[in-house]
Amino acid sequence: MTLAATALVFAPFFWILGAVAYNGALVLAKAGLGFLLKRPPLPGTNSLGGIGTVIEGSLLIVGMAMAIATPLSLLTALHITLHEDSPIAKLGRALMDIMVEFPTIVIGISVFLIFGLALGLGLSALTASIALAVIMIPYTTIQAVEAMKIPKEVVYEAAVALGLREGHVAKIILTEGKGGVITGVLIGMAKIFGETAPLLFTTATSFDILANSPLSPVSAVPVLIFVYAFSPYTNWQEVAWGASLVLSLIVLGIYIAVRLSLSKGGLRE
């Protein structure tokens, strides 16, 4: 009974993964490694082109989002850990739990209305990275709080008894829990790499552009997949399959790397 239930749960995942792997591999075999570097093709042609421009866009906005989210997450996690009984810390933890479940499409349109329209940033890499950073922060914060719990219980009272300042205590706790913190950052990165909904409002749907600056229009792999998959053009549909495989390999690669490092104790030290 339990085995059948487990198989039923995993069947859709492996069916989807198999479909992406099969169809995506056919495209990559036909297009070659140039698929990762070339620009997207014109519609209705025999060319597959590539996804080089949207890979560049994804790397840019994910990197910027991590640069925004990581320090904010660590500072928030440290406050929640060091002042867990304070009203602000309790409210902060509750908000993080809510944000994890919050609809990302609402985050995307809110960021676009505030930063894209009201502040005039438009469909730029910065607007997209802010949306992804908002999504990443709760994942990284919650993981960091959990990683700092044990170090805090072990060293906090001793550090206070020795008269160490809060900054020194925070540094010790962060150092001891760095493995879990790094894990949280990587999980957050994997989460936002595959996000589509917020990028529909914050990135361009012209996929033949390269971002020249954080304020330039940019697109991303998930948005290309969304647009090309619903197009009537066969070559665009094929590109969507190939891009889906590339995106899946990136996200799965991050998760597998995290699991392997944890199993070997690499991120716990």
Is 200 domain-assigned?
yes
The 10s digit of each residue's pLDDT in 131-178 is: 999 999 999 999 999 888 877 777 777 777 777 777 777 888 888 888
> For the chain, what is the domain count?
1
Mean pLDDT in residue range 12-20: 90
Query: Domain range spanning residue 222?
Result: 50-263
Residue 38 falls within a domain, yes or no? no
Helices 234-263/2-31 angle, 10° precision: 120
The answer to whether residue 21 is domain-embedded is no
With beta carbons less than 8 A apart as the criterion, state whether 60 and 130 touch: no
pLDDT at residue 27 in the model: 95
Residue 63 lies in a domain: yes
Q: What share of the chain is helix, strand, coil (3-state, %, to 5)?
A: 75, 0, 25
DSSP classification of residue 40: P
| Structure letter (DSSP) for residue 211 | -
What would the pLDDT profile of 98-127 be if each residue is shown by its tens digit? Answer: 999 999 999 999 999 999 999 999 999 999
Distance from chain centroid for Cα 257: 15
Taking residues 27-56, what's their average pLDDT? Answer: 92
Q: What is the pLDDT of residue 85?
A: 84
The rounded mean pLDDT for the chain is 89
Judge whether 2 lies within some domain.
Answer: no
More confident residue, 205 or 110: 110
> Whole-angstrom Cα distance, residue 231 to residue 20?
18
Instruction: Give the pLDDT of residue 176.
Output: 80
> Is 244 domain-assigned?
yes
DSSP string for 140-159: HHHHHHHHHHHHHHHHHHHH
Q: Tell me, what's the pLDDT at 269?
A: 46
Is residue 40 situated within a structural domain? Answer: no
Q: Are 190 and 255 in contact (CB under 8 A)?
A: yes
Residue 267 has pLDDT above 70, yes or no: no
Two structure tokens written together for 99: 């944000």
184: domain CATH number? 1.10.3720.10
Nearest to 140 by CA among 73, 215, 238: 73
Q: Amino acid identity of 156? A: Y
pLDDT tens for 44-63 read 888 999 999 999 999 999 99
Confirm whether 108 is domain-assigned.
Answer: yes
For residue 264, the model assigns a pLDDT of 60
Average pLDDT over every residue of 224-250 = 95
Mean pLDDT confidence for 20-33:
94
The pLDDT of residue 183 is: 87
Return d(Cα 105, Cα 116) in angstroms, integer. Answer: 15
Cα–Cα distances in Å, from 250 out to 59, 114, 194, 246, 262? 11, 31, 9, 6, 19
